[in-house]
Structure 1
C-alpha cells in the first residue's frame, strides 16, 4: 500500500489548525504522517499540532512556499497531501486522494477547488464561482491543464524530489500552487478530481485590501513565471514530452 503524508503550513493559526486536525482524525483513511510546519508562530500552533498527533517542523523563513516546501522535504511518504491550517477535509478526502493517485494513469498531481465556509452566502458564492472558478478557468487555459489549488492537492514525493530545485521555493511573494503548476516538468500531469472535497475559510474576503493583495500577487507570480519559463517555450517542450512516470512504475 502507498503511504501518505499531510503537510500543513501554519502561522499563528492555532484555532483553525485545531479544527483541521480534528477533521483529519475523522478521515476514513488515516494519514501515515501529519506534518505541521510552524512558520514562526507566536501563538500555540506548535502545542496544538503536537496534541493533534502531528510532527512539527520549524521554518523561520516566512511565507507559504518556504513553509510548504520544508514540509514536503521532511515527509517520507509516497504521496504528499497538502492542506492549509483553515482547511476542513471531508471524511473521505484522503481515501479519495489515494484512490485517484493509485489509478492506472498514475497522475503526478491530483487537485480540486474548495467549498468556502464562514462570511455570508453571497461572498461564498462569489469566492467559489468567480475567484476560484476564474482561477481554474484562466490558469487552465494558460497552462493547458488544470492548475493546482494549494488548499487541496496531492503530489507524488518522487515528483517533488525532481521539482524542489526547480520551483521558486524560497520566495514568499509568489503563489506556491501556481508556481508548482507552471514549473511541472515535461510529462508531469495534473488531474482535477471533483470528489476531492475540502472546506476552506472565506477569510481572504474579509477586507478589500487583503483580497486585492492576493490578486496583485497572482499577476506578479505570472510575470515571474513567464520570465523563468516563457509560455510559448513551456507549451512546446511539454507537448513533445513522453508521459512522466513515478519511479518503480
Structure 2
C-alpha cells in the first residue's frame, strides 16, 4: 500500500491545528510524515505543529498556493496527500486513499462541515457529493486542497501549483488529470470547519459552482493545458 506525506499549509491556525494533527495520528494507516508549511504565522502555529509531531517548513513567500508548492517539493514519498489546518480527516482517510492508488495519478474524496448540528453535517456531505458528481459529469474534477492526494511525480510534471490567489488546488488537480486517471474515493471522508460558511451559504456555493462554469479556462489556455506538450 502506498505511503503518504501529508502537507498542511497554515497561517495563524494555532487554535485549529491541534485537532487536525490529532486526527492524523489516529489514522489506521499512519502517514510517513506530516509537513506543516508555516506561511508567516504570528500566533505560535509552528510550535503547535512541532508539538503535534509535524515537520515545520517556513514559507517566506505569502500565499496558500506557494505554501502548498513548498510542501510538495519537500515531500519524499511517491504520494502526497493534502488537507487544511482546520480540517478533520476520518480515521480511514489514508487507508482508503492508499488502496485506490494503483493505476491512478490523483485521488479525492467526500467532504462535509464539522462544528454544526448533526443534520447539517449529513446535509453538507450530501450536497458536496452532488456537487462533485456534477463536476465529474462535465469533465472538471474538483480536487479540493482539504481532501486530495496525488503522485508527487505527476504533480511536478504538471508544473506544480499555479501562483494564483484561489483555486490553486482545483487547477493542479485538472492539470494532473491530463496525465492519467483521477479517482473519487467514496470512503475517504474529510470534514472541514464551518467557518467557511461565515460569508453565507449562497456565496460559498457560487464560488465553487464557478468551477463548472469555467473559471479555470485561462489557466489551461496557457502552458498548463497539457503537461505532456
TM-score with structure 2 setting the length: 0.85
Q: Is the 8 A contact 1:38 1:56 kept in 2?
A: yes
Partner of 1:98: 98
Partner of 1:182: 174
Alignment of 1:203-242 (within 5 A): 203-208=195-200, 212=203, 215-216=206-207, 219=210, 225-229=216-220
Tell me whether 194-203 or 177-186 shows the greater mean CA deviation: 177-186
Partner of 1:56: 56
Q: Is the 8 A contact 2:10 2:45 kept in 1?
A: yes
Q: Is the alpha carbon distance of 1:77 and 1:154 closer, same or farther for their aligned partners in structure 2, counting shifts above 3 Å?
A: same
Match status 1:158 vs 2:153: yes
Alignment of 1:187-206 (within 5 A): 187-206=179-198
**CA root-mean-square deviation:** 2.8
Alignment of 1:50-89 (within 5 A): 50-89=50-89
Q: Which protein has the larger Cα radius of gyration, Structure 1 or Structure 2?
A: 1
Q: Is the alpha carbon distance of 1:226 and 1:20 closer, same or farther for their aligned partners in structure 2, counting shifts above 3 Å?
A: same
Residue ranges of structure 1 left out of the alignment (5+ in a row): 242-249
Residue ranges of structure 2 left out of the alignment (5+ in a row): none
TM-score with structure 1 setting the length: 0.78
Aligned residues: 225
Q: Is the 8 A contact 2:112 2:122 kept in 1?
A: no
Supply the distance in 1 between the matched residues of 2:36 and 2:131 (Cα, whole angstroms).
27
CA-to-aligned-CA distance 1:33-82 (integer Å, 9 cap, x gap): 11001111111110011111111111233332221111111111111011
Supply the distance in 2 between the matched residues of 1:125 and 1:148 (Cα, whole angstroms).
20
Supply the distance in 2 between the matched residues of 1:84 and 1:30 (Cα, whole angstroms).
17
